[in-house]
Structure 1
């Protein structure tokens, strides 16, 4: 898939079909974008599970923080990535080890690695990169 642009229907379908989001790189700091996006997604009715090894066992926005994706005991629809683009290949490895696989990996603004995306897509996972669901949701759904 060409990740330079996405059809509105592609993004809208993902946002409509998603229920459970693992937010990798979640921060308890209200000044951080991951914290604000998590709050937005919770307000929109998504179940958001924060993932951050440095915050594991604590809570962000009342949601228990997990150290890694494998620690989440329920199926994940989307993995929302607030990490450096250089972390995406290893994160795709972690995602591909999950059972069941999530439907989507969503890389936040500036999070893009086309090779990592190809690997995820080869496993049947949709990929969005360099976009923010808190920007796309109001534009396409609200």
Structure 2
């Protein structure tokens, strides 16, 4: 059976229930897409947790950056991925280890292997969608509510 993303209504619920969003591949450079999207989500009230081994221990968007998902000392609702498709299966395995609820592969990123791993471990999967766009469409009144 071919993969299908959740419906807009399902995505709305996923985002309403989300608090902590681990952003894998979050750059510390403000001109990068990952930074701009994470900053926008943070401004909308979500807690962003940076994950980037090249910036581990630094602060990005005021939050401590971790080298891996396993190092995050608190629960993660959504693992938002800004990595090439070939790395996504490993990210999915690590997301399963930390019992994340959702694996979200950003616009342009598709990995059937990662989706299968995540689904086998009880996670919802969203691929090839921008979390910022989906949030803006499904959560128009969220700003300032967190």
Shorter-chain TM-score bucket reads over 0.9
Aligned counterpart, 1:112: 110
Deviation string for 1:27-76 (max 9, x for gaps)?
11111110001101111111110000000011111111001001100010
Residue 86 of structure 1 is matched in structure 2 by: 86
- What is the number of equivalent residue pairs in this alignment? 140
Q: Does 1:132 align with 2:130?
A: yes
The CA deviation at 1:115 is 2.3
Alignment of 1:9-24 (within 5 A): 9-24=9-24
1:97-142, Cα deviation, whole Å (9 max, x unpaired): 22xx011010001111112201211111000000011011111111
What SS does the corresponding residue of 1:29 show, helix, strand or coil? coil
Partner of 1:54: 54
Give 5+ residue unaligned stretches, structure 1: none
| 2:97 aligned partner | 97
Q: What TM-score do you get using the length of structure 2 for normalisation?
A: 0.91
Query: How many angstroms apart in 1 are the aligned matches of 2:41 and 2:50?
Result: 12
> Which residue of structure 1 aligns with residue 32 of structure 2?
32
Aligned-pair CA distance for 1:96: 2.0
Distance in 2 (alpha carbons) for counterparts of 1:60 and 1:92: 23
TM-score (normalizing by structure 1) = 0.93
